[in-house]
Amino acid sequence: MNITLTGATGFVGSALLPALNQYHQTRAITRAEFGDFIPTTDYSAALTHADVIIHLAARAHVLKEQSADPLATFRETNTAATLNLAQQAATAGVRRFIYLSSIKVNGEHTQPGQPFTADDQDYIPTDPYGISKQEAEQALRSLATGTGMEVVIIRPPLVYGSGVKGNFLSMMHWLHKGIPLPLGRIHNARSLIALPNLIDLITTCIDHPAAANQTFLVSDGEDLSTTELLQRLSQALGKPARLLPVPQSLLETSLKLIGKGDIAQRLCGNLQVDISHTRNTLGWTPPISVEAALRQTAQAYLQSLKHA
């Protein structure tokens, strides 16, 4: 199978590429060869013999946004440039287009015991990233209908694993340094996805006949509270969890008062996904447990400290 991969140097792509190379002929679309991922780039050289495209490249979350119009900037990369690639792929006769979207298409939080499902139609993306991903999904589905190219959409929640960045890396820093955290009484439930589990699902979707034109939600199949996550991550790091038993309501109120409502939502809110459609349609089960995935993530982090 000839695979064309975008985003090969990113967090997910750098783990996916060697997995693909074990079984497929893989061509990575790189910035060095094609320039920035924009709506006018000509990708014909990378699509000539491609059977499947796995599209990971995207404009991700920006901590310090510099754009005067963030939504327009996200749309240019995540929507318009994606559609440009997909249209060229369809013209070139590519059979299947696998698109890594985001659970943010569904929304930022769920009610207790009411996880997002693959059948949800009331999408509530709340930031430019989520909006641009939703619009890309809509454009890809329309293209699939008009051309016959199969589209597979995967919506992961937070992805963690070896080399993880962002908030997950910050949590490991705090835990490793033994910094007391006021997160000992959080009773939420959040779905996560370990990088090896996500890689396994993506590779499953390459040639599974039932994956065609489907949308798959994905997680580790075990939801954790923020407190449980920190406790188990501390154990994986070999450090005591210094979690102060601050009442969740007090923590949420305090964060909102200082203008950190978004942080309160991520730390205290629920975000659960139901992966039964993914399991049933593909016969797929996450191959690695949360415990093993956290251990791998912690070991990679500790190893990185030795070489810092």
**Which among 99, 129, 160, 301 is annotated as catalytic?**
129
Here the tokens at position 291 are: 């415990």
> Other CB atoms closer than 10 Å to residue 178's CB: what's the count?
11
How many angstroms separate the CA atoms of 230 and 260, rounded? 20
How many angstroms separate the CA atoms of 271 and 171, rounded? 18
How many angstroms separate the CA atoms of 82 and 98, rounded? 11
Q: What is residue 288's DSSP assignment?
A: S
Is residue 23 part of the annotated active site? The answer reads no
3 state SS of 111: strand
Q: What is residue 120's DSSP assignment?
A: -
3-state helix, strand, coil in the chain (%, to 5): 45, 15, 40
Catalytic annotation, residues: 129
